[in-house]
Amino acid sequence: MAVSVGGSSGSGRKKSLDAELNLVSFIDLLSMCICFLLMTAVWLEVGSLQVKQSHGTQAAAPKGQAHEVELSMQNSTALDWVIKKNGRLVEKQQLKAASIEELSQNLAQAMGAFVTAHSGDPATISSAMITTSSAVSYGDLIRVMDALRRNQIVNIGVVPANRDSAVAGVRAFRGGA
Amino acid sequence: MNLKSQNLGDRSFSRHLVARQYQRKKRARILIAGLMLTSMVDMFSLLVIFLLQNFSASPELAVVAKGVTLPISATSRELKDAPVLAISRAGIFLDQKFIGSAEELLDRPEPLMKRLSQLREIWQRSHPQQEFPGEISLQADQSVSSAVVSRFMGMLPSQAFGSIQLAVVGAGGGKG
């Protein structure tokens, strides 16, 4: 970068020590940087939640000693959850709340309490299956999945709804437009 | 200085006042025109630093379909490159191509199955030595019934698309 030292005209004069930066080229460079970064910026970061759906003919993965959770959402404020181990019932609870935020928070706490209570036993919950109804929105389903993933349950599946329930859901979605 | 009345003209004092006012105005105009370059460079530098921090070198993999508001998730992961199935009010789209309305496809899913099968065949032809990963990205509006989404999710494994990525927006709005 060019730096000019002022006051050099007089031969016998003392040179000024005030250095002056050439700001014009500096501003040009910064403007170009800002334009490039603004044009290439990604403002909405799209992420993903992984769901494994198995086909009817595919063999089930070996379950070992881990527990499985079955969640049944009736609506956005109530759900039943059942914990099984090797097909045998271990725990069953019903959760109710005033809102989906509260419900997902209660679910995360209940899962955490189960793992803590069975800390001696290898109480890892390996997988979860979620059954929903047409009254539950997709956004609320994601919130419940979030609560499960916060408790290290990453192998999540969703039970496909029946045709009538899905058609009712489509009509409700169109009606809300 | 000794000023004598004969030296002063008829309107010399008023002219002097006008000249002084003009000079003052001129000086003021010069002051307004001058830019504060130091603070401007400071501001530019801060902007560049902020934008560089938010800069993502990875390309945008998913174009969010029109009319789809993705749900927010706090535990989202990076989205992988995969075909995109979008469920919106306007209908069902696969890789931004209209397949049909949701109601039609729930009754007769053949067009969707056919298109998925084609996508799988294309992938297998281009990757002959590799196993098909079966990854698909699903975009749905957050207000759509989960029954609709789960029904379509249930259809996908029949065409070997068993690894479904539900597209969400990271909770921070930034890095997910």
More confident call, B52 vs B66: B52
Could you report the per-residue pLDDT of B18-50, keeping only the tens digit for each? 888 777 766 655 555 566 788 888 899 999 999
pLDDT tens for residues A79-90? 888 888 877 888
Determine the residue of chain B that is closest to A25 in CA distance: B41
Tell me the ipTM for this assembly.
0.70
Q: For the residues B78-87, what does the mean pLDDT come to?
A: 87
B11 CB neighbour count, 10 Å cutoff = 10
Least confident of A157-161, B60-64, B103-107, B108-112: B60-64
Q: Which residue of A has its CA nearest to B107?
A: A163
Scanning the structure block, which residue is given the tokens 């989960």? B146
Contact B106, B128 (CB under 8 A): no
Are B137 and B68 spatial neighbours (Cβ–Cβ below 8 Å)? no
Integer Cα distance of B53 and A36 in angstroms: 14
Instruction: Give B62-75 as a DSSP string.
Output: -PPPTT--PPEESS
Closest residue of A to B176, CA-based? A47
CB contact under 8 A, B145 and A172: yes
Q: Do A30 and B44 touch (CB under 8 A)?
A: yes
Q: At A43, list the tokens.
A: 């403002």
Q: Between residues 144 and 163 of chain A, which touch chain B (CB distance below 8 Å)?
A: 145-146, 149-150, 158-163
End-to-end Cα spacing for chain B: 80
Contact of A125 with chain B, judged by CB distance below 8 Å, is answered with no
Of residues A161 and B73, more confidence is placed in B73
| Residues above pLDDT 90, as percent of chain B | 15
Give the Cα separation of B103 and B106 in Å (integer): 5
Q: Which residues of B touch A142 (CB under 8 A)?
A: 71-73, 142, 166, 168
Tokens for A6? 């002022």
Contacts of B163 in chain A (CB under 8 A): 50-52
pLDDT tens track of chain A, all 177 residues?
445 544 444 555 666 777 777 788 888 999 999 999 888 877 777 888 888 876 554 545 555 567 888 899 888 888 888 888 877 888 888 888 888 888 888 888 888 888 787 766 656 777 888 988 888 899 999 999 988 888 888 788 888 877 777 777 777 776 654
- The shortest CB-CB distance from A46 to any of B64, B141, B151 is to B64
pLDDT tens for B3-16 read 555 555 667 777 87
Q: What is the pTM of this model?
A: 0.70
Residues of chain B positioned with their CB less than 8 A from the CB of A134: 145-148
Q: Does B153 touch chain A (CB under 8 A)?
A: yes
- For A104, phi then psi, to 5°, come to -65, -35
Of A52, A55, A137, the CB nearest to B145: A137
The residues, ordered by sequence, that sit 6+ positions from B90 with a Cβ below 8 Å of its Cβ are B66, B67, B98
